Structures are given as C-alpha cells and as structure tokens.
Amino acid sequence: MDIGIARTFLEVVKTGSFVSAAANLNLTQTAVSARIRVLEEQLDRPVFIRNKAGARLTPAGEHFLRFATTLVQVWEGARRAVALPPGREAVVTIGAELSLWSPLLRHWLLWMRRECPEIAVSAQIDTSERLLERVQNGSLDMAVIYAAPRRPGLIAELLFEEKLVLVRTTPAARPLGAEDHVDIDWGEDFAASYHAAFPDRPKAVVSISYGPLALDYLLATGGSGYFRQGAIRSYLEEGRLALVPDSPEFSYSAYAVHSSKADPGAMDRVRAGLRAAAAMTG
C-alpha cells in the first residue's frame, strides 16, 4: 500500500472532514477523495460515510484504523533505521513541550551521550497536541508533556509530580489589584480547576501562553500569577517572589508518552535516562 494513502486516511479520521484533511496535508480535496477511493477499492469496502457534517468511519474503517496506524509507525521506524548515522545501532526521536526542555531534557541529552553512545538522538520542540499526534503516527518515538494524554494506543509514564502555586512579587505589603494578576495558559485541566476555585475573578488584563515569558514579565512589572513550583524556587529563596497565603495549589505533572508498539528495548533506555534526568531536576 502507498503509505500516503494510509496517512491520508488517518488525517480524515483525525479531522472528521475531507476538506480539513486536504488543508492539513497541503492537498486538494479531489486528491484526498481520490486516495480514499483507491483505499476503498483495495479493501473492497467503504471506509467512510460522507455527509454534510463531514466523514465518519464505517465498521470496515474502524477495523482498518489500527492497521493504518501500525503501517505508518512501521514505515517511520524503517525509514529511521535505514538512515542511521555511521557507528550507531539505533536512532531515537524525542519531543517535548517548550517549558520542559530546561533543565529536564538537557539533563537527558547529556545522560544519553554518556550512557548510550551507540544511540543517535533527534530532539524536537512542539505543542503537546502535535507531539501526541506524531507519537501516534510513528514519526516520534516519545513525547514528554504535561498532563496525561487520553488517547488509545499510547502509554504514559509519570516522570515527576509538580505543583502550580500562586505567587506575587515583593514587598508583600504592597497591595495588588485584580488587574495585576497575570493569566498563564497551563492547559485545559488547570483552567477548569482555576475557574472552579476563583469563579468570581474577572478576566485577566494580561494573558500569556508561555510560563517563562510570564515570569519575566511579572518580575519586571510586579503582580501575581500561577507558576510551576520548581521554576520559581530560586526566586522564593531570594525573596523576589512570595507565596500567596492560603491559595489553592494545582497538580501539574510531567509524563513520558510512547506508543504501545514502540521498540521496548529502546524505550527502556530512553525511560531510564528520563527518570535519571527527572531526579536531577527535582
């Protein structure tokens, strides 16, 4: 089978639409329809029911879904194996959310170089959604993300537990108003818990999607916000930030995620390195 057909099938499944799949794959809708038509001819079964709302899987499509995922994963693994650098036995591709690179992934890269010199490494940064998609389609061996994923076929291992705590700039005697609070995007779970804890708090004047940037802004202008406890420990010790007494804390744990079909030998070594890096980070 043309691997492009399998990728197109998976994209239609993910988006629920031929139009959206075409846009994501940089193809015309006609090309997407043609690929799916070839697939249906090869299987001698329809795999989608088309309607005005989009496309949904037929029973045959449901059965083919897991095979399509495996096809793409096996192809990606084979492509990487063929392209091995000289003197290396395997290559591992790993991705992480931006805020997890320092120091966790830096420690991991150094550990891999020291303990697994026979393995080539490709390390990348992306959003959690894109990282999980790439683990599912086989183009990434492992993703390190915050919040446990809810996707079939993926295995998540807790790396470390962290808390999001409410802090403010000092001196603590200086009064802060609602406009001084900085809203930081820590994901949907945090947003739901935050709004439950502070149902009457008005929408923040400043919202920032990246924690380190929000921290720099807060330190420069003054104010309050929720931050990862480990990331602001030194500022608490220096007295530049202070915990807001009696404020709720929220869990924000990091996970290593890989496919259930990934090479267990390579994953064992990668996980060992991540556990060692997490211990150094903590």
How distant, in Å, are the alpha carbons of 54, 233, 264 from that of 49? 8, 54, 37
- Helix 128-137 with 3-15: angle, nearest 10 deg: 140
pLDDT of residue 64: 93
Mean pLDDT of 48-55: 88
Mean pLDDT of 7-20: 92
Q: Which of 197-201, 217-221, 265-269 has the highest mean pLDDT?
A: 217-221
Q: Among positive and negative, which fits the CA dihedral 68, 74, 78, 80?
A: positive
pLDDT of residue 213: 92
Q: Are 248 and 199 in contact (CB under 8 A)?
A: no
More confident residue, 57 or 263: 57
One-letter identity of residue 257 = V
pLDDT of residue 1: 63
* Least confident segment among 61-75, 156-170, 223-237: 61-75
Confidence of residue 29 (pLDDT cuts 50, 70, 90): very high
Mean pLDDT of 72-97: 82
pLDDT of residue 282: 61
pLDDT of residue 276: 92
Confidence of residue 194 (pLDDT cuts 50, 70, 90): very high
Confidence of residue 260 (pLDDT cuts 50, 70, 90): confident
pLDDT in tens, 205-247: 999 988 889 999 999 999 999 999 988 999 999 999 999 999 9
pTM of the model: 0.66
- Region of 149 on the Ramachandran plot (φ > 0 left; ψ -120 to 50 alpha; else beta): beta
